[in-house]
Chain A
Amino acid sequence: MQNPILTVSHITKRFTGTTALDNVSLELYPQEILAVMGENGAGKSTLMKILSGIYPYGSYDGEIKIQDTLCRFKSPAYSEAAGIAMIYQELNLELDLTVAENILLGRYPKTKMGLINWEQVYQDAGAALERLQVKIDVHAPVRSLSPSMQQLVSIARALYCNPKILILDEPTSVLTEKETETLMQILHGLQKQNIACIYISHKLDEVFKLCDRMVILRDGKWISEYSKSQGYQSTRIIEDMIGRRLDVMYPKTKKKIGEEIMRIEHFCVQHPFAYGKHIIEDVSFSVRKGEILGLAGLVGAGRSELVSAIYGLTDSIGGTLYFDGKKITHPTPERSIRMGMGFLSEDRKKNGFVWTMDIEQNMTLAILKEISQGGFINQSREDKISDEYFDRLRIKAPDKKTLITSLSGGNQQKVIIAKWLMTKLKLLILDEPTRGIDVGTKAEIYKLINDLAAQGIAVIMISSELPELIAMCDRFIVLGKGVVQAELSKKDADEVSIMRAASCT
């Protein structure tokens, strides 16, 4: 066998309180596409940040070798110079610059006068795109491109400095199925141009098709390795990733599904970026007491935008909302809470909690009126209710006066859930409730959701992790192209049927 182009040996990286990587070793061979798989928090991103020099040499134990030279990256510039190019999950392009400017950003060729040689810029950008065999106008502003085109621009940007190793961190999370297909062809093409790839994803089907070998990480440890030539077995791989048998994750509770609590008819919601475009065209569905309704769809299908509009956080353009038998016009979060709705937002850090407040203050934020008299907060009432939920949800913190920012993601999520449990809850909307949360807490949150449903509370759940959605929900609404593509009952729903409906095929 050939000598590896990249050798990572015995890497250990600690953060205050946690070990993100524990003695991880792996090799990458020339012309290989290697998948690094694992759940959120498994240590994939940490490893990539070490490889790309974001965590500099010295902040971790172990060593990295490219071919036979030991690498000591002080910053991403060093890693780039050594031939590693990184493509991040979030597209970090300057939206208002042109394609060419983005591809060469920070590396503009100069004329003799010391000014930017624009002719050269466009030529080089064109050449970089040529390698990908795609046709994109180098003069177009990046904002006008679709997400997949933007993705290609960032790959072209990475290729411009002739890397030997290309790292892609969940590149397909914003792409449609067809665009994913194109990306895979491009990666195979690069393989022939003598570039080795590390491909991070948790989409199994993609990895099965694309990657020659996969390494599985869990809780910062190397767990197992499989190669394409031996054949991939999905059950074993999933179990390696989650570290337990599949059936234990999702506890079953007996419950009765009651009458309808909320119904929307012909909902229409404005697209968040494209003016005049509707991300949701015409959607109608209902949810019943004690039911867990799953909202499925690809990224960009408008799931989050739809629930935001139902909750009243953003305005809907058209359609009617009925809650508890009453027609609701112009919902606002304030009114929605009074009616009995709760809303756990998709991005916890952005709008889930108030980071200057402690656990207790975050918990009682939605029930300030209930725990106050004449505008004054009743301290003992606040103490009592926050104590109760602090214990009930088993939040891991020294006490409830701890700042919420010093908690782990899972415990932060528990605090936010507690906030909604304190209200007179009838319908809870959960947008990606387990994103970025460790496996243990995930199971606790699943149990909590099931308990809520058993008490007759309706739940609308959005999740990009299909297995989770399928296991948790009683009924599924699949969104795509702004309308309901399919409504599936529990027994008809599996990954294939949902994905087929979501990709509108």
Chain B
Amino acid sequence: MESQGEKKRFGRLSQWFLRKQESSVILVLILYCVIVTIVNPVFISANNVVNILRSTGFTLIVVVGMTLVLITAGLDLSVGSVFAMGSIVCGICCTAGISVWLSMLIGTGVGLLFGMTIGFTIVKTGIPPLMITLGMQYIGRGMVSAITKGVPVYPLPDGFTSLEKISLFGIIPIIVPVSILIAVAGHIVLSRTTFGRSVYAIGGNQEAAKISGINIDRTKMIVYSLTSALAAFSGIMMASRLGSAEPSTGTGFEMKVICACIIGGTSSFGGTGTVLGAALGAVFMEVITNSLTLMKISVYWQNLFFGVILIAAVLLDQYKRALMMRQSVKVKE
């Protein structure tokens, strides 16, 4: 009797788990971690885990915004350029003697303005986000090159570079709690607020959302502004870590961010996805980079792995969806 009840509970639990959008990435992530640990136990040492989380942090901050963008069935290819712009603006400001906090605020603010421009253009022209943000990617990178003439802003004041070295309990770098905090906030906003619900509705069916009284333009403006602000902020943190604001920093960053979101189960067609899933996707990508080194596989293989896993994640997601559909049909009968 008892074992039967247990079985039933397990069945329900696994059902619940399968229905969760993040389930596939969690399963694969755990499986992968186990394999890597067997090959090289150093993988789960505290130092290495902190290392992974630290490098994930920079991606994770932007992933939160990108998840929102993707859920509205949009796309933002400009985050890499905004990442560089944030770090350059902030770097210039603090070398000019402006206080560190104000410089960071200015850097993030410039990102926000850039994002508002993107959002405004998308909403008012109706041109697909792919085109607009591709253009904005060049514009952003161009602005950075023009300002710096290709020369890094270096050296940065100690007050700024010491920021990234602040750590929690002596071992956890500040970027880890900051990025997790942003991710948690993003998750709550997306899952519990009317704004989050609007984001899902717009991606699911923009026309229906409009008829239901959802302000499409405002929601999209907020989503793109937020993403750019986060990208600029992430760039600032990176400059603080490197001790130098590089004009070429963040090149190709947007693809990494988008890849993390998709691996985390965010639909590229819009309407579905969670911040938690995307965050796990970001962790997964960092785990791969890290594990390749630990397993003594050349790091040049990394991109190949990313590509395979991206496609595998989408396939797995599709299979899961088909499974769920079949279940819902069965329930109907």
Contact = CB atoms under 8 A, between A and B. Distances in A.
- Do the two shown chains form a genuine complex with each other? yes
Interface of A: 16-17, 311, 313, 333-334, 336-338, 343, 345, 350-357, 361, 365-366, 368-369, 372, 375-377, 397-398, 402-403, 406, 419
Interface string B195-215: 101101101110111111111
Contacts of B272: 356
B210 A352 contact: no
Given A333-B210, A333-B212, A403 B328 contact: yes
Contacts of B195: 375
Given A17-B332, A419-B212, A350 B207 contact: yes
Interface string B88-130: 0000000000000000000000000000000000000000000
A353 B201 CA distance: 9
A126 B251 CA distance: 58
20 contacts: A16-B329, A311-B211, A345-B207, A345-B211, A350-B207, A351-B208, A353-B205, A354-B201, A354-B205, A356-B200, A356-B267, A356-B270, A365-B213, A366-B212, A368-B197, A368-B214, A372-B194, A375-B194, A375-B195, A406-B328
Contacts of A333: 210-213
B210 A313 contact: yes
A313 B329 contact: no
A406 B331 CA distance: 10
Nearest to A357: B204
Given A351-B208, A355-B204, A406-B329, 4 more contacts: A17-B333, A351-B211, A354-B271, A376-B192
Contacts of B193: 372, 375-377
- Select the residue from B210, B271, B332 with max chain A CB neighbours within 10 A: B332
Contact of B209 (A350, A354, A369): A354
A354 B194 contact: no
B166 interface: no
Contacts of A403: 328
Interface string B169-197: 00000000000000000000000111101
Given A351-B208, A355-B204, A365 B214 contact: yes
A377 B197 contact: yes
B325 interface: yes
Nearest to A16: B329
A337 B192 CA distance: 23
A356 B271 contact: yes
Contacts of B208: 345, 351-354, 365
Nearest to B207: A351
B197 A361 contact: yes
Contacts of B203: 356
Given A397-B332, A403-B328, A406-B332, A334 B211 contact: no
A416 to B, nearest CB: 9
Contact of B198 (A345, A351, A368, A398): A368
Nearest to A337: B213
A345 B210 CA distance: 12
A460 to B, nearest CB: 15
Contacts of B325: 406
A448 to B, nearest CB: 19
A17 B329 contact: yes
A356 B328 contact: no
Nearest to A423: B213
B200 to A, nearest CB: 7
A369 B328 contact: no
A398 B211 contact: no
A25 to B, nearest CB: 27
A338 B193 CA distance: 20
A311 B192 CA distance: 29
Contacts of A17: 329, 332-333
A344 B258 CA distance: 36
Contacts of A365: 197, 201, 208-209, 212-214
A357 B214 CA distance: 15
A398 B331 contact: yes
A354 B204 contact: yes
Interface in B305-333: 325, 328-329, 331-333
A338 B215 CA distance: 13
A162 B194 CA distance: 59
Contacts of B332: 17, 397-398, 406
B192 A377 contact: yes
A257 B205 CA distance: 37
Contacts of B213: 333-334, 336-338, 365-366
B277 to A, nearest CB: 15
A343 B208 CA distance: 10
A344 B209 CA distance: 12
Contacts of B333: 16-17
A356 B204 contact: yes
Nearest to B331: A398
A90 B307 CA distance: 41
Contacts of B209: 354, 365
A137 B180 CA distance: 66
Nearest to A354: B204
A357 B211 contact: no
A308 to B, nearest CB: 9
Contacts of A366: 212-213
- Select the residue from A311, A354, A376, A377 with max chain B CB neighbours within 10 A: A354
Contacts of A337: 212-213
A352 B210 CA distance: 10
A313 B200 contact: no
A343 B211 contact: yes
A286 B115 CA distance: 45
Nearest to A361: B197
Contacts of B194: 368-369, 372, 375-377
A406 B332 CA distance: 8
Contacts of B207: 345, 350-351
Report, nearest first, the 9 A-B pairs whose CB atoms are least far apart. Answer: A356-B271, A351-B207, A354-B204, A356-B204, A365-B212, A337-B213, A368-B194, A406-B328, A354-B205
A334 B205 contact: no
A375 B219 CA distance: 13
Contacts of A376: 192-194
A402 B328 contact: yes
A376 B331 CA distance: 32
A334 B205 CA distance: 16
A451 B212 CA distance: 23
A4 B116 CA distance: 69
Given A377-B197, A403-B328, A355 B192 contact: no
Nearest to B196: A377
Contacts of B215: 334
B200 A354 contact: yes
Nearest to A402: B328
Contacts of A397: 332
